[in-house]
Amino acid sequence: MSIRLHMIFDPLCGWCYAVSPLLKRVQAHFLGKLPLVFHPGLLFDQPNIIPPSYREHIIAADQHIATLSGVTFGNTYLDRVRNIGELSYYSVPSATAVMSQADASGSAALRMLEKIQHAHYIDAADISDFQVLSQLAMGLGLSASDFEAAYTRAKADLPALAQMAHRLLRQAGAQGFPSFVLESQGKFQRLNHSVAYQDSTRFIAEIEQAREIAELAAS
């Protein structure tokens, strides 16, 4: 039986940050038996200057996300959003860094994503800066040269991976980031993760039900 969990994500998406605790619970529950496949949606596929008039909207959205999910937005990050002279969001570098660590289980990519999210949402680091990303990778035990080589390969593949991400969204009838799609026996099913911000058991139960159906079909 072949079953995988696909996630269409963006490192600069606050709701993707909000599902970080959920992904940890899913991995702990399935104990390596449910590969996690990342797909870069590229929310900001070009550098975008965020005008001051929109920044309070970002802050309000983040406060709502924090209340709903329990994740933390650091004061340094909030100060940066409010006060930095020019706030620019660009998804490609950080998404490339995540995809550079993609492996069969998805665990390495998830660790990279968590590092990047913490750097952005807690430490207010510039995650569009390659040197920042390289330092984060070294914090995971990678050498600078190995990360640079993997990053270069992932960057070349990123446009095709982004196209695949959007095809998967359309195929599953999903929209927005994050989106979760369960692949079972070559079929793709959109999962409803909206309830999981406060109750991860319902999301896990949805996956378990799909697994049981796939096992019956394969028997």
pLDDT in tens, 129-152: 999 999 999 999 999 999 999 999
- pLDDT in the model for residue 219: 62
Residue 212 has pLDDT above 90, yes or no: no
- pLDDT in the model for residue 3: 86
Give the pLDDT band of residue 200 (cuts 50, 70, 90): confident
Which residues, in sequence order, are CB contacts of 45 under 8 Å at separation 6+? 91, 92, 162
pLDDT digits (tens, 9 = 90+) for 10-39: 999 999 999 999 999 999 999 888 999 999
Instruction: Report which of residues 41 and 206 the model is more confident about.
Output: 41
CB of 196 closer than 8 Å to CB of 22: yes
pLDDT digits (tens, 9 = 90+) for 55-105: 999 999 999 999 999 999 999 999 999 999 999 999 999 999 999 999 999
> How many folded domains does the chain comprise?
1
Range in 1-15, 160-174, 202-216 with the lowest mean pLDDT: 202-216
CB of 193 closer than 8 Å to CB of 22: yes
Q: How open is the CA angle 129-105-3, to the nearest 5 degrees?
A: 130
Give the pLDDT band of residue 217 (cuts 50, 70, 90): low
Write the CATH number for 193. Answer: 3.40.30.10
pTM of the entire predicted model: 0.94
Q: Work out the percent of the chain whose per-residue pLDDT is above 70.
A: 96
Mean pLDDT over the full length of the chain: 93
Which residues, in sequence order, are CB contacts of 60 under 8 Å at separation 6+? none
Q: Which domain holds residue 128?
A: 3-218
Residue 214 has pLDDT above 70, yes or no: no
Token match 């040197």: residue?
A: 131
